[in-house]
Amino acid sequence: MNPQFLLSKLKLLTLTIFTLVLSYGVQASHPSLVITQSDVLEMRKAVIEQGSFATAYGKLKAKVDLQMALPIEVPVPKDGGGGYTHERHKKNYQLMYDAGILFQLNQDKTYADYVRDMLLAYVQLYPTLDLHPARKVKSQNPGKLFWQSLNEAVWLVHTIQAYDLVYGALSAQDIDSIETKLLKPVALFLSQGQPSTFNKVHNHGTWATAGVGMAGYVMDEPEWVEKALYDLEKSGKGGFLRQLDELFSPQGYYNEGPYYQRYALLPFVTFAKAIDNNDPQRKIFEYRDGILLKAIDTTIQLSYDGLFFPINDAIKSKGIDTIELVHGVALAYSLTEDPGYLDIARHQDHIILSGDGLKVAQALDKGLAEPYQFESVAFGDGSDGKQGALVIMRSQLAGDQALLFKPAAQGLGHGHFDKLTWQFYDQGKEIVSDYGAARFLNVEAKFGGRYLPENESYAKQTVAHNTVVVDETSHFNGDVEVGNLNAPTLNYFDTNQFGTIANGDISSAYPGVKLERTLALINLAELEKTIVLDLFDVRASAEHQLDLPLHYLGQLIGTNFELSVNTEQLSALGSNNGYQHLWLKGRGQPEQGLAKVSWLNENGRFYTHTSLVKGNEEFLFTQIGANDPYFNLRNEQGFIRRVKDKKQHQFISILEPHGEYNPGKEYTLEAESKLTGLVHGEQGDLTLIKITMAGMPYLIVVNQSADASTQHSFQYQDKSLSVNGRLAVYALNNF
């Protein structure tokens, strides 16, 4: 028997025991999902005292009161995302949930009646509905109230809680019709009505299982809870627990990246809380060594200046104040009482009206918050944590800086073909950027608010990222299935007083080509400066054209080599794989030595990218926007370093933040790069980079050996030096 089979057997056994011992823990008392009766008692006390919880209550009440003054609208479904009926039904579940909470807190039956009336309106509507008219053709998961069942599951997650909250105020007759004509049919539609979605180990599956499982608790359908946990066949191959096993790495990183991680978080957090309240014996928060808490914490770590790192299909303005993470942080604080979470909660500035929300509010009121610690860390990818990694490097030496390095797995359908790409952030802004998703969420005029065609044709393509493109084709030839099967390898990650460094490689992005990159965020303590060191090695069995793009945000200040600029006419750089969307603005071929490109970011700082070139790298300057008939793309700038007919090439470069442009106060400091020397050498397994910065000679030592667990000593220019771990930096003047 293979271990997988054993595991599922074991789960079935566990299940049987639960069945016998616990009667599934399903109880008739209400509310009993995320919010329990004892929570309610505490919260009722808090709303009549001064404090941020009472303030939040007052705000929500005012908002809901305004809405309740209007007639209830439960329209016949018609529109897709962003359209009126879509938005109305979304608003309705939120309203029912909020009114349900208010009823529990102030015991004013008006609120329960409002929820009841809306539920009864749905009771009238729902049985008349066929599949949604705006569903996608051949969709695997159409909804009835919404164009896709994902939204329907979200509706159920909220509505079942609202129902639970007002249950005590409903007549038996209303209970009967709400359950039999609305809630049970919705739960059945979302479970047995769409097995492929319900059983899928994917965030759509999480919403469905969360909704159905919670419906099981509330309406005394213990089988539904089991199915939610173990899949429709109770096989353990799908279901909520399998999702917890597979969707997160052991460190709590979610395969699709932070944008989807925070979205996926809400049903996990919600259903887990309901499980814990109903079946504490399942110890759901201890499951997989506390994976849920790790997932919440990782989501926070994957942010910069309040916004998530925009890898894969990410909309850039999404950040840690997102409602999903408000719930997540409340839970994390409730579980750990770690005061760092209060720092995040303070930034979120949103108290939720739940038992956990109350704990956060009271702790904030007591001033218990302490700074949350953002760290340099490599998040292993994949359910085993070994499908590459997403690496975050941070430094506070010269402003708040972060570097993201992505030797991470493909990340399923929302993943981008961007193996080994990087991003850089400084002083609150993106400097070396990632396009993110090409989408105007819910803006009907922009392709119905869905992902734009340019998301496929540009944003996902390799050239849209800061990593090597071979022969103008994307990684895995743009095939997501192949990508899902082939992750890069994280060879090492290390962080010490000199900075943070990581190395990753992948040999499957292109046949016969190995891509290997070392990236380091290095502290030059004496100068109170940080720099980024980037070594990108390409080794191939045949000759290729190699392009290494760098997308920067800002205005080009200048180059130290001549450019031939297309001033009268622009053409697209290529015809496929994203190249068709780049205007070629100019080109230059620097001579041997240091090739510099400088730009000025809106944060008022200058950035100079210096490449060590041998005269065979061409620099192509680009602007996004060609072949964009609907003006869907942002017209951002970049440059591509290109070499041709190469079996082997090493792109060596340093990014240097410097100076300040302050036209408001009329001063400009250090507008020019201070890097005057850059020499690359190797000595056994050591890579030695000698730089001269602001007149100071530095030696950067990278230990590339297979094992760097012990200190490594070596001779350099008659001096005995050593490197402990992967990285050392010597200020040579200090000898």
- The residues carrying an active-site annotation are 260, 414
DSSP β-bridge partners for residue 503 = 492, 518
Nearer to its own copies, 83 or 593 (CB): 83
Measure Cα distances from 649 to 295, 506, 547, 614, 653 in Å: 39, 15, 11, 11, 13
Using rule CB under 8 A, residue 583 touches its own copies: yes
Residues 498-557 that bind its own copies (CB under 8 A): 555-557
Please say whether the beta carbons of 504 and 489 come within 8 A. yes
Phi, psi of 655 (to 5 degrees): -105, 130
Which residue in 282, 318, 587, 712 binds its own copies (CB under 8 A)?
Answer: 318
* One-letter amino acid for residue 568 of the chain: E
Please say whether the beta carbons of 405 and 502 come within 8 A. yes
Using rule CB under 8 A, residue 79 touches its own copies: no
Using rule CB under 8 A, residue 656 touches its own copies: no
Using rule CB under 8 A, residue 66 touches its own copies: no
Coil, strand, or helix at residue 156? helix
Using rule CB under 8 A, residue 635 touches its own copies: yes
Using rule CB under 8 A, residue 427 touches its own copies: no
Instruction: Report CA 116 to chain centroid distance, whole Å.
Output: 37
Phi, psi of 366 (to 5 degrees): -85, 0
Using rule CB under 8 A, residue 558 touches its own copies: yes
Stretch that binds its own copies, among 26-34, 319-327, 390-398, 533-541 (CB under 8 A): 319-327
Cβ at position 437, least distance to its own copies in Å: 10
Using rule CB under 8 A, residue 70 touches its own copies: no
Cβ at position 444, least distance to its own copies in Å: 6
Cβ at position 315, least distance to its own copies in Å: 5
Using rule CB under 8 A, residue 441 touches its own copies: yes
- The whole-angstrom separation of Cα 7 and Cα 4 is 5
Using rule CB under 8 A, residue 296 touches its own copies: no
Nearer to its own copies, 318 or 359 (CB): 318
Using rule CB under 8 A, residue 443 touches its own copies: yes
Using rule CB under 8 A, residue 321 touches its own copies: yes
Using rule CB under 8 A, residue 668 touches its own copies: yes
Coil, strand, or helix at residue 168? helix
Residue 677, phi-psi category: left (phi > 0), alpha (psi -120 to 50), beta (remainder): beta
DSSP β-bridge partners for residue 600 = 555, 606
Stretch that binds its own copies, among 139-147, 309-317, 473-481, 611-619 (CB under 8 A): 309-317
Instruction: Give kind and range of the element (H or E) at residue 226.
Output: helix 222-230
Using rule CB under 8 A, residue 84 touches its own copies: no
Using rule CB under 8 A, residue 694 touches its own copies: no
Cβ at position 438, least distance to its own copies in Å: 11
Using rule CB under 8 A, residue 367 touches its own copies: no
Nearer to its own copies, 165 or 600 (CB): 600
Cβ at position 346, least distance to its own copies in Å: 18
Which residue in 192, 541, 576, 630 binds its own copies (CB under 8 A)?
Answer: 630
Cα torsion angle, 232, 235, 240, 245, sign? negative
Using rule CB under 8 A, residue 440 touches its own copies: yes
Measure Cα distances from 485 to 15, 466, 508, 627 in Å: 32, 22, 10, 32
Coil, strand, or helix at residue 61? helix
Please say whether the beta carbons of 449 and 443 come within 8 A. yes
- The whole-angstrom separation of Cα 487 and Cα 598 is 33
- The whole-angstrom separation of Cα 116 and Cα 99 is 10
Measure Cα distances from 135 to 138, 141, 441, 502 in Å: 9, 8, 17, 45
* One-letter amino acid for residue 29 of the chain: S
Which residue in 600, 654, 691, 693 binds its own copies (CB under 8 A)?
Answer: 600
Using rule CB under 8 A, residue 461 touches its own copies: no
Residue ranges that bind its own copies, judged by CB under 8 A? 82, 87, 315-319, 321-323, 440-446, 449, 555-558, 563, 565, 567-572, 583, 585-586, 598, 600, 621, 623, 625-631, 634-635, 637, 661-668, 671-672
